[in-house]
Every structure is written in C-alpha cells, then in structure tokens.
Structure 1
Amino acid sequence: MEPSAHVRVIRMLRVREGREADFVQAYHRVLERAVRFPGHLGEQLCRSIDNPGQWLLTSEWESLEAIKRWRTDPDHSALVEPMNAHLHDERSTAVFQVVDVASAR
C-alpha cells in the first residue's frame, strides 16, 4: 500500500490519582471542538489495564498541515490547559505518518 497523507498523534499521559473523572470531563470539552475542526478524523482515549494511572490518547488527522493548524489554533491552548492540569509532568507526544492500514474482517 502507498503511504497515506494521514497522521496519527500519540500522547502517553499519566493522570493524577483521584483526578480521572475531571480529566475525562476536560478531555470531552477538547473533543467537542476537535471533532468540528477541519481535518480531524477521529480519536481514542484509552486507560491502561495494568497501570490505571497511565493513559493513551490518539487522534488521526487528514494531514500534517491539519494537525499543525489545530495546535496553533487560538482556542487550542485554552482548551487543553484544563485537561493538562490533571496530568503529571511525565508525558510524551509524537506524530506519526500512517503508512499502512489493516481492517478487521
């Protein structure tokens, strides 16, 4: 398969103990805007079974340009700040080009 122009953003997060519900609520406020943002294709929020303090947030975008526009949108910082307030400092974000896609049959 040819490489896709789509990109996937992967965020590994550690949510502060006792702040999980507040984090998810803040995430949903970000998501409300993200789903209407041009180029946004979808998201998943996952919580580790083995380490419940560890979370994985993924989003898929039509292009690298779309995610750059989202990250530099004037509303972006104000939206993600309340979500990030529930996180430990140890977190990472990476952007990947989608190279191949397999579907379940």
Structure 2
Amino acid sequence: MLVVTRLRAPSSAASAEAELRAGLVRALAILAAKPGYVGGEVGRNVDDPALWVLATRWENVGSYRRALGSYEGKMHVQPLMVHAVDEPSAYELVEEGTDLNEARPRSIG
C-alpha cells in the first residue's frame, strides 16, 4: 500500500516552511517505527516550494491506520494534516498477477 499526502506550507515565510519540514521529518520517523511500515520519504516540490509530500509504503491499509491512530501518530502526525491538500491519499500497488480493488458495495456479513 502506498500513501501520498501532499501538504501546503501555511505561509511562504522561511520559519513556517522550516517548521513544516521538521514536523514531516519527525512524522516519518514516528511512522517508520510502527509495525507494517515498509519505507517512506519526505519531499518538496521543485516548481512550487510551498508544496510538500509525505510518501510512505505499508504492508497493508490496517498497518497504516493503526500507525496513524497510535498515541504518537495522534500527537505528532495528525496535527500536520491541517496543511494537507484535500484529496485521496491511499493507493494500492499495481503488481503483476494481482487483482485491483473494485469500487462496488461490499457485504458486511
């Protein structure tokens, strides 16, 4: 599973961007310590320096949700999401021989 979260710095002030950068680096370290974490990066857009990305890879969606819902996730990762671009962020990996998720109603029982 791939999670791509784009975030916009609250202002173009160097201090605001430095604070967001530090928060994202800390968030990545917190997430990296959680079960199911596979890898991740923090990046900044080359054409729009106020646009940042936190990209992580997980064994499955449950691992990501548990990491985000952990105490550390609630205290240090979730508060950064106020700067997130409002768009879907979770992606399934396309691999040879696997079926992709289908958008359809599901039975719960």
Q: Distance in 1 between matches of 2:69 and 2:80?
A: 17
**Superposition pairs of residues 18-97 of structure 1, within 5 angstroms:** 18=13, 19-81=16-78, 83-84=80-81, 87=83, 90-97=85-92
Partner SS state of residue 24, structure 2: helix
User: In the aligned structure 2, how far is the partner of 1:30 from the partner of 1:80?
Assistant: 5
User: 1:97 is aligned with what amino acid?
Assistant: E
Residue of structure 2 in register with 1:9 after alignment: 3
* Structure 1 runs (4+) greater than 2 angstroms displaced: 81-85, 89-93
Q: Which has the larger radius of gyration?
A: 2
Structure 2: segments with no counterpart, 5+ residues: 97-109
Q: Which runs of 5 or more structure 1 residues have no equivalent in the other structure? A: 1-6
In the alignment, the residues of structure 2 paired with residue 99 and residue 58 of structure 1 have an alpha-carbon distance, to the nearest angstrom, of 16
Higher share of residues assigned helix: 2
Paired residues in the alignment total: 93
Q: Secondary structure at 1:92's aligned position in 2?
A: coil
Q: State the TM-score, normalized to the length of structure 1.
A: 0.74
**Structure 2 length normalisation: TM-score?**
0.72
Distance in 2 between residues matched to 1:13 and 1:62, nearest whole Å: 23
**3-state SS in 2 of match to 1:57:** strand
Q: Partners in 2 of 1:68 and 1:47 — Cα distance?
A: 24
What is the CA–CA distance in structure 2 between the aligned matches of 1:95 and 1:81, rounded to whole Å?
A: 15
- Higher relative contact order, chain-length normalized (CA < 8 Å, sep 6+): 1
Deviation at 1:27, TM superposition (A): 1.6
